[in-house]
Amino acid sequence: MGDPLDQKDLIHLPFLKEAQQFLGDFASPLDTFLPTSLGERVVTRAYARVAMAVRKGRSDQGRTLSRATTDALGIRIEIASFVLARIIVSCVKDRSLIERLCRYEAQLAYEALVEGSEKTRDLVAERIGFVPIKGSVPVVMYIEAVAGLREDRWRLVNREVEGGLVALTKIEADELMRERIRVMLTQQLPLIVPDTVCRYLEPITTDLLAMVKASILEEFGEIEEGFFPPCIKAIIDALAVGTNITHPGRFALTAFCHTIGMATTGIIELFSRAPDFSYDRTIYQVEHITGRGGTEYSPPSCATMRTHGLCVKPDPLCTKVNFPIRYYSVKKKSHLPREGGETSQGSPST
Ligand code: SF4
């Protein structure tokens, strides 16, 4: 059986072994390739990939490219830029940048799947080990596939299950393939990159790191404890009076604070309010949750908070959100100054 993929499909599916085979030793050895004029083109495209990921850009740019890039050299540059983008985020060593790139690449692949042929879809499904049969997948495969998804519609209790199989629509199957690709790509990073290569890329890694920090600031603004949701405030208050905080409580506080851009030192400062504060134990836990161990955890949903008895004193805004992080974002935005200096809801209520 010949290769069923069109070469242009490889632009959107650069993680497939077919793409890597097509690339061959095009960019090898990397440290001598990068300073060449072709290398510069790849660096420029790789930078654009990561920048798009940081800005949560749509992948329209990718579709435009697939129409414009028809020659083998152009396709190789695109595949090499995928490889280099992974190298760049590995040099930066920022877990949120890695997460953003993987999400972006998975979205690119998803759009190619939605718009592509059945043949392409089947091949990708086989490569990533997620092959629905007649629109269903075994429960075990399903549970694994939705582990990182928060929406209620993915919960097994909300699914049609028959004979150990979970039914999926075509769109849902594509969404789970996207998720599978995201997880797969995330698990492969960071790569071990030679210092010489990271040093060469330093000007752009510095720039991208600043872009990540700016985007967190843009999303959440300066950190304002006054806008924290009641559940997070309750954990902080409990810490201050010496109440023993359960592991889910510590986890929720750490993941929440990390996501809104609080530095590790700021998070440790919160925990240091507890009378039994231990620096070593706290830094170990914080670094584990914020991704130093290779996995960055997302803040829990309100449903998970309720399960652990951490949803306390919900207020009216709570009825409109499903995530404490969303509560914070909504509340902050509602207090942004309008023209004339007023806030959209008057003074903060806290
Ligand atoms: S509803 Fe959500 S945001 Fe509000 S207190 Fe409960 S867990 Fe926190």
- pLDDT on residue 3: 53
Percent of the chain with pLDDT over 70: 88
- pLDDT on residue 213: 79
324 lines ligand 1 (CB under 6 A): yes
305 lines ligand 1 (CB under 6 A): yes
3-class DSSP state of 343? strand
Give the number of other Cβ atoms within 10 Å of residue 206's Cβ.
11
Average pLDDT over residues 171-183: 94
Mean pLDDT of the chain: 85
| Ligand 1 atom nearest to CA at 324 | 3
Looking up tokens 């040099």 gives 91
Give the number of other Cβ atoms within 10 Å of residue 142's Cβ.
23
253 lines ligand 1 (CB under 6 A): no
CA distance 19 to 11: 8
CA distance 228 to 324: 8
- pLDDT on residue 339: 45
Burial degree of 169 (CB within 10 A; 0-12, 13-18, 19+): exposed
- pLDDT on residue 57: 54
pLDDT tens, position by position, 17-73 = 999 999 999 999 999 999 999 999 999 999 999 999 988 654 445 555 545 556 899
> What is the secondary structure of 91-152 as a DSSP string?
HHT-HHHHHHHHHHHHHHHHHHHHHS-HHHHHHHHHHHT---BTTEEEHHHHHHHHTT---G
Average pLDDT over residues 250-268: 87
- pLDDT on residue 284: 81
62 lines ligand 1 (CB under 6 A): no
Which of 109 and 1 is assigned the larger pLDDT? 109
Cβ 17 vs Cβ 85: under 8 Å: no
Average pLDDT over residues 319-343: 77
| Ligand 1 atom nearest to CA at 230 | 5
Distance from residue 302's CA to the centre of ligand 1 (Å):
5
- pLDDT on residue 324: 94
314 has pLDDT over 90: yes
Cβ 312 vs Cβ 320: under 8 Å: no
The number of residues in the chain equals: 350
Q: Which amino acid is at 72?
A: A
- pLDDT on residue 302: 92
